[in-house]
Amino acid sequence: MGIRVQPQAFDAGVELGALHAANLGVGAVAVFVGYVRDFNDGREVAGMFLEHAPGMTEKALERIVAEAQARWPLLGVEVIHRVGELEPGAPIVFVGVTSAHRDAAFDACRFVMDYLKTRAPFWKKEDTPDGPRWVEGRTSDQQAVERWQR
Amino acid sequence: MIRIQYFARYREALGRDGETLEWTPALATLNDVRRQLLERGGAWDVLAEQNIMCARNQDLCGLDEPVADGDELAFFPTVTGG
């Protein structure tokens, strides 16, 4: 399992290949990649700054991944989240999960993303034509994570 | 002493990224700490937000989490990563 919080870009293809190559028992890889959009909540977005809480953020991600590993028979998990200045089109987040079969990989990948969105200390500040603005949390993200608690 | 960190919009609203406070038995939970900070008024009203999030010793927790001397606390707005 790997967790990286970094300003540098990542290559999703390279990460996917490494996850697969790590274990010949891997029959399934599920990957989610999130990107910066150029539009949000009715405003153009020219770029954004991603703030995190060094130490606390990594610890929160480790906890989320450990929960996924306890819940599904996973062979590997890789989480990469970028911080700092990001432009539209830039990849922000990579979640890759491997398992013997697809169900565990699909479900665990979504579980990690849903918890990351609501429990990992990251904050987006967007550059818009009206100036910078902090992105507010969404109720739909909260509802997504609550599905896993039923 | 307890150490308190503020992040993102709260850090900007409060004009600081953290501070240390003398711990007293009256600060039994994170909510007690928040209430004491709210007494400062003005910009500190931001901590009254209903969806405020907090952490104790780098673990996310609820406002009812106990606080002990030497703890490192954090208050921050809803997270928006991913």
Min mean pLDDT across A38-47, A111-120, B13-22 is at A38-47
Q: Where are the domains of chain B?
A: 2-76
Residues 110-149, chain A, touching B (beta carbon < 8 A): 113, 116-125, 134-137
Residue B75 DSSP class: E
Which chain A residues are closer than 8 Å to B81 by Cβ? 50, 52, 81, 92-93, 116-117, 120-124
Helix, strand, or coil here: B4? strand
pLDDT recorded at residue B43: 98
Query: Cβ–Cβ of A134/B9 closer than 8 Å?
Result: yes
Query: Cβ–Cβ of B77/A134 closer than 8 Å?
Result: yes
Q: Tens digit of pLDDT for each residue in B18-49?
A: 999 999 999 999 999 999 999 999 999 999 99
Specify the CATH number for B2-76; select among 3.40.50.10890, 3.10.20.30, 1.10.30.50, 2.60.40.1930: 3.10.20.30
Which chain B residues are closer than 8 Å to A63 by Cβ? 59
- Where does the pLDDT of residue A135 fall: very low under 50, low under 70, confident under 90, or very high at 90 and above? very high
Residue A58 has pLDDT above 90, yes or no: yes
Q: For the residues B65-79, what does the mean pLDDT come to?
A: 98
Sign of CA dihedral A81, A64, B80, B54: negative
Asked if A33 is an interface residue toward chain B (Cβ–Cβ < 8 A), one would say: no
What would the DSSP string read from start to end of chain A?
A: -EEEEESS---HHHHHHHHHHT-TT--EEEEEEEE--SEETTEE--EEEEEE-TTHHHHHHHHHHHHHHHHS-EEEEEEEEE-EEE-TT-EEEEEEEEESSHHHHHHHHHHHHHHHHHHS-EEEEEEETTEEEEPPP-HHHHHHHHGGG-
pLDDT recorded at residue A41: 86
Question: How confident is the prediction for chain A on average, in pLDDT?
Answer: 96
Residue A42, class by beta-carbon neighbours within 10 Å (0-12 exposed, 13-18 middle, 19+ buried)? exposed
CA distance A102 to chain B (A): 23
Query: Cβ–Cβ of B78/A136 closer than 8 Å?
Result: yes
